[in-house]
Structure 1
Amino acid sequence: MSTTLQVRQTDLATTRLQTTEDTALADGQVRVRVESFALTANNITYAALGEMLQYWQFYPTGEAGWGTVPVWGFGTVTESRHPDVAVGERLYGYWPMADQAVLTPQRANAAGFSDGAPHRAGLHAVYNHYLRTRTDGLYRADNEDVQALLRPLFITSWLIDDFLADQQFFGAQRMLLSSASSKTAYGTAFQLAQRGGIEVVGLTSPGNVAFCESLGCYHRVVTYDALEAQLDGATPSVYIDFAGSVGLRRRIHTHCTGLAYSCSVGASHVGDLGGAGQLPGPRPVMFFAPAQVKKRHADWGAEGLNQRLVAAWNQFSTAASAGPQPWLVVQRHQGPAATQALFATVLAGSGDPRAGHIATLLPG
């Protein structure tokens, strides 16, 4: 039997647990027990933008209106009818919010393989690739939870920083990051703060100011309600929007007359999403991480890209998990009901920003 957490696509607060009989594997398929995955605001973005960016298509439910939110984490192969994938192999990748997944490996090599399921053929390769932990340069057995929580987000953060640097920051001197307490935002801030001549400003709610300031990667932290009073609108700036809030975006675009570029990344404020409409200043542009991966793969080659990522990841993951007050404190949630409750909590945007949630639908 397999259990999956499904979400109503037009009302993310409505969820259900579906249990189905296992089907026999076809030749070339493998069954993976999904043992642990992270649940963060990033997954809420996947759901909120599921139709636009095809996230619902990775693990279709077969029933109109219901979707399975993809998650990053670890699994172990429990059954294999593929000659190049062994039972017992541990994999890192993009899973359904379920207790198992059936994959159709193709292009298998020492590093991993891609899922060759027909319905995933047109989806981006970054999300279709599964890594064997025994050969993965970023993998460490003693910090799997940190990897599941921060690795996919940090790769996006690293690519945002790399993209902006590649564009000479559009001539701006100040980076404005909304949802500054979110993991993707502070990963981006961590990278940006290492560059000279750029002021990194975190925008957040009053309750998250102390947390954002404790990270040490924001030069300033400004509350949403005070941004007009505390920010000089004429300073050449880039807005990196992790919130997706229409109202906040309009305020930034209206107040910041020196806005050079507006970069839309996330959708953590799901109650206030919508189109940009007619805004003053530059038109917001959606950041799509796989496009920057493709560019740098062409520029540096796979090995060059991987070396840079590994070095940056090691520095960031150490900073995030070290010291008397780590940026991330792992909380575990075991079983279908606990995972369903956790999804509601993360969707509501409540909770301690320092908490990192690791879940499994496997029973305790």
Structure 2
Amino acid sequence: MEIQSQAFEVRRYKLADTRIVSEAMATPERGEALLRIDAFALTANNITYGVTGDMIGYWQFFPAADTDWGRIPVWGFADVVSSDVDGVAEGDRFYGYFPMAGHLLVQPAAVGDRSFTDGAAHRAELPAVYNQYQRCAADPLYRPEHEAMLMLFRPLFTTGFFIDDFLADNDFFGAGTVLLSSASSKTAVALAWLLHRARKGQVRVVGLTSPGNKRFVESLGCYDTAVTYDEPDALPKGPVVYVDMAGNGDLRASVHGHYADKLAYSCSVGVTHWESAALGGNDKLPGPKPELFFAPTQVAKRNKDWGPAVIAERLAGAWTPFVDAASGWLAVRREHGPGGVSGAYRSLLENRANPAEGLILSL
């Protein structure tokens, strides 16, 4: 029996163009399971997925039938509605990487007590971390009351965790200050909190933000100071490490021009300023060439150095106090249906989203 579903798609080279498509989901065959996507988070990180979709391969996870369009990946929860796979039963709940859609057909492989991997052929060459689905009943981070925080922050917190680890592993490239652009973004906040918690006294954490978000950034308590984009004279003295969450080409050039050789390291992470994104031209900038940070690379390194069990233990040890801290300032906003999803996406794309809100959506 077919199940009717819906999916939210964006035009790959014009992210402001969106549409809702209907699709029929067939009954799973042997080796397949059908998941009903219950809810997912939408953050600036997902806009980054769209902007860098061709460069990093994000469009390949959930390809649309029309190749001019794409399905932006999101993080969320889903329940198994039908399965012909041993170990993946109807009613099981999983956390993982999904399209902005109502359903996802997967081919579970490496099924275990804690997780499975989607073994679909088109995902085989993509980073494994995005293909794993965590079984909620066996997930050490899972709490029903923390579902919204897990959707909103788990991938971003994990990215921040590994940026913090990468910088510390390299002795902050000799710098005493870490400068974060788009300081109000959730990835930046997670990184700032980690730096403040574990590296206080070792490095100063400075947030670079818009005038409208400065008070919010200062209120978080994890930045030593906040500087707005229009006050370059207030930037801290070098040497600094620059972690670029904004991806704004003019801003990046300004920071590189300001510091030149006093810029110890330049790290590109996100493109929250997607409309001004500059993904090339880095060779001509003063100072070190910006390096793209790709979390799975550091994850792979630490899997060899520490092993997955130690990574999980360290992440869990930092996660719980972060949730306690973030719960004090974050308000969850839920939107449902095609209209709610489309409106929430547009508000984020047009930089109208409130940084103190977290968007939880469902189709």
TM tier, smaller? over 0.9
Q: Which runs of 4+ in 1 moved over 2 A?
A: none
Length-normalised TM-score, structure 2: 0.96
Residue 292 in structure 1 maps to residue 295 in structure 2: no
CA-to-aligned-CA distance 1:99-123 (integer Å, 9 cap, x gap):
1101100001111100000000000
Task: From 195, 199, 202, give the equivalent of 1:192.
Answer: 195
Q: CA RMSD, aligned part only?
A: 0.8
Q: Alignment length, in residue pairs?
A: 355
**Counterpart selection for 1:226 from 231, 237, 242:** 231
Is 1:317 equivalent to 2:319 in the alignment? no
Instruction: Indicate the residue corresponding to 2:130 in structure 1.
Output: 127
Gaps of 5+ in 1: none
What secondary structure does 1:21 align onto?
A: strand
CA distance in 2, matches of 1:69, 1:347: 13
> 2 CA distance for matches of 1:301 and 1:176?
30
Residue of structure 2 aligned with 1:332, choices 328, 331, 334: 334
Matched, 1:173 2:173: no
Give the Cα–Cα distance (whole angstroms) in 2 for the partners of residues 271 and 67 of structure 1: 18
Instruction: Render the CA deviation track for 1:261-287: whole Å, top value 9, x for unaligned.
Output: 000000010111121341000000000
Amino acid at match of 1:104: Q
The structure 2 residue matched to 1:264, chosen from 247, 268, 278, is: 268
Task: Note the alpha carbon deviations across 1:102-152, whole angstroms, 9 max, x for none.
Answer: 110000111110000000000000000000000001101111011100111
Instruction: Quote the Cα distance in structure 2 between the aligned partners of 1:312 and 1:351.
Output: 27
> 1:105 is matched with which residue: 87, 91, 108?
108
* AA in 2 matched with 1:251: S
**Cα distance in 2 between the residues matched to 1:167 and 1:344:** 38
Amino acid in structure 2 at the alignment position of 1:112: S
Which residue of structure 1 lines up, in the alignment, with residue 208 of structure 2?
203
Residue 54 of structure 2 is matched in structure 1 by: 51
The letter of the residue matching 1:231 is: L
Q: Deviations over 1:152-194 (max 9, x none)?
A: 1000001100000000000000110000000000100011112
Judged with a 3 Å threshold, the aligned counterparts in structure 2 of structure 1 residues 232 and 187 are, in CA distance, closer, same or farther, namely: closer
SS in structure 2 opposite 1:95?
A: strand
- Residue by residue over 1:59-79, the C-alpha shift from the partner in whole angstroms, topping out at 9 and shown as x without a partner, is 001212100001001010000
- TM-score (norm: length of structure 1): 0.96
In the aligned structure 2, how far is the partner of 1:65 from the partner of 1:288? 26
Counterpart check, 1:26 vs 2:29? yes
Query: Who is 1:358 aligned against?
Result: 360
Matching residue of 2:347: 345
Q: What is the SS of the residue equivalent to 1:94?
A: strand
**Whole-angstrom CA distance in 2 between matches of 1:304 and 1:351:** 36
- Deviation digits for residues 315-347 of structure 1 (CA, Å, limit 9, x no counterpart): 1111111xxxx2210000011221011111111
